[in-house]
Structure 1
Amino acid sequence: MTQDLFRQNAYQTECSATVTAINPEGVVLDQTVFYPLGGGQAGDTGVLRLANGSGLAIADTRKIKDVQGQPTSDILHLPAPGQEGLLAQLSVGESVTAQIDWARRHRLMRFHTATHLLCHLVPMPVNGCSITPDYARLDFHMTDPLSKEALTAGIAALVAAAHPVALGSVTDAELEANPALVKSMSVSPPRGSGAVRTVQIGTGDLIDLQPCGGTHVANTAEIGAVVVIKIEKKSANTRRVVLGFAA
């Protein structure tokens, strides 16, 4: 089991860790700051710094799946191509320093929080999501048209209002009693541990509250200038909204 430090503090950029497993695909650590692909958000990249000072470049991060194809709590750090020699130098029990590509992560955090603002502006079920360092998109289950200009202006106002973003949790029972908290039709919050992590935007003036395991900024002002670059009709019942950073 990998301890996921990024869930408690998305701003932690590195940590010391111990190698617990090595396989042909990559490295498993006892704890990590690397976010694994999931919930629509891309996995982190970065480097594992070895004791001799050399760095094993990490090109992606994924959760290991069990024999049924379900994600486990073990997180796999996938080396970049050409890193086979450094990977061979590692051994189970060795100490490394895990360092994420912070600039890339911060773009993911800004986009992820921006998609939650979009959920506030378009209060319809979400049936698809992708958050990358270069763009973010949400697919809404709806038929009505949407306005790029109106949504861009709405996001800008929410960013300028500098709403705080806070982590919390609800019990499985509370989530079952309030199904409207779940905005996504395609990603189901993990249940069974007794508590489901939530992200809340706004305090007295609540903007958004929903289960989410991703990384977020601490205040909407940190998102910066985000614009709606495209709205597509993907099907009779789906409208896709694509966000980008303003040039």
Structure 2
Amino acid sequence: MSEQFNLDAYQRTLDTRVLQHDGHGLVLADTLCYPLGGGQPGDRATLTLADGRSLTVHDTRRDKESRRIVHQLDADAPLLAPGTPLTLTLDWERRYRHMRVHTCLHLLSVVIKAGVTGGNLTADGGRLDFDLPEGMQLEPQAIEQALNALIARDLPVGVKMTSGAALQAQPELIKTMSVTPPLHQPEIRLIEIDGVDLQPCGGTHVARTGEIGRVLVKKIESKGARNKRVVIALAD
């Protein structure tokens, strides 16, 4: 299976075919749909068959055993035979908002220099949890100003590849304390925000920080003696 979202996060339509379809879901030869993972929701899409019929992908997951991407359709959707051609059209507005929020969360980890213990995002906003040193205080207005300043610099966002061995030699790049990257793999994907950040990530991102738009720091919550949750939202 070709995972096109890793090659071009901006591609919106794809002609593909069915590999397998059963009660567990639909597997395609190629897909644009990002599967749930890394705090980013699974994509939604529309599938258009040659006869004009349309089916809705309401969630996308990765099978833990086979590692295939499985598209979840409505329970009453007809089973499609292997080889059936179709056109996949991504729910682009939702995906693009995920991309904007995800890149913003990377910038948030630049503004707040502490280990990340968890995170999540939606089409409206997201949050990161930080393991803060004793006595370190967070000021919402200062964080919001710093975030929007980085966004306004319109920095390029790109992908680099590294090996598990090389990443082990640079542990400072691993910001997330709750999830360890697959260091056994020969290739690991890094997201680079030019001049300010480089970290492992398998999610989808915008090409420049300016695309994020203005963001708000909605609240900061205590989630334990050292754990602080910072919640951000897209302003539009």
If the TM-score is normalised by the length of the shorter chain, which range does it land in? over 0.9
| Alpha carbons 1:6, 1:34 under 8 Å: kept | yes
Cα distance in 2 for residues equivalent to 1:246 and 1:94: 42
Counterparts of 1:98-247 in structure 2, within 5 Å, are 98-142=88-132, 143=134, 144-202=136-194, 206-247=195-236
Which whole-Å deviations, capped at 9, do the CAs of 1:121-165 have from their partners, x for residues lacking one? 011111111011122110111152211101110111001111100
Cα distance in 2 for residues equivalent to 1:181 and 1:20: 37
Equivalent residue, structure 1, for 2:72: 78
3-state SS of paired residue (2:57): strand
Equivalent residue, structure 2, for 1:20: 19
Equivalent residue, structure 1, for 2:45: 46
TM-score, structure 1 normalization = 0.91
Deviation, 1:175, is 0.3
| Alpha carbons 1:45, 1:101 under 8 Å: kept | yes
Cα distance in 1 for residues equivalent to 2:60 and 2:110: 29
Deviation, 1:111, is 0.1
Answer yes or no: is 1:29 the counterpart of 2:28. yes
User: Any gaps of 5 or more consecutive residues in structure 1?
Assistant: 67-71
TM-score, structure 2 normalization = 0.95
Deviation, 1:192, is 3.2
3-state SS of paired residue (1:11): coil
Which whole-Å deviations, capped at 9, do the CAs of 1:171-222 have from their partners, x for residues lacking one? 11210101111110122212333111000001xxx11100100000000000
User: Any gaps of 5 or more consecutive residues in structure 2?
Assistant: none
| Alpha carbons 1:117, 1:158 under 8 Å: kept | yes
3-state SS of paired residue (2:95): helix
Size of the alignment, in residue pairs? Answer: 234
| Alpha carbons 2:59, 2:71 under 8 Å: kept | yes
Cα distance in 2 for residues equivalent to 1:154 and 1:172: 32
Percent identity over the alignment is 42
Cα distance in 1 for residues equivalent to 2:233 and 2:26: 33
Which whole-Å deviations, capped at 9, do the CAs of 1:35-79 have from their partners, x for residues lacking one? 00001101101111111111111111000122xxxxx43000001
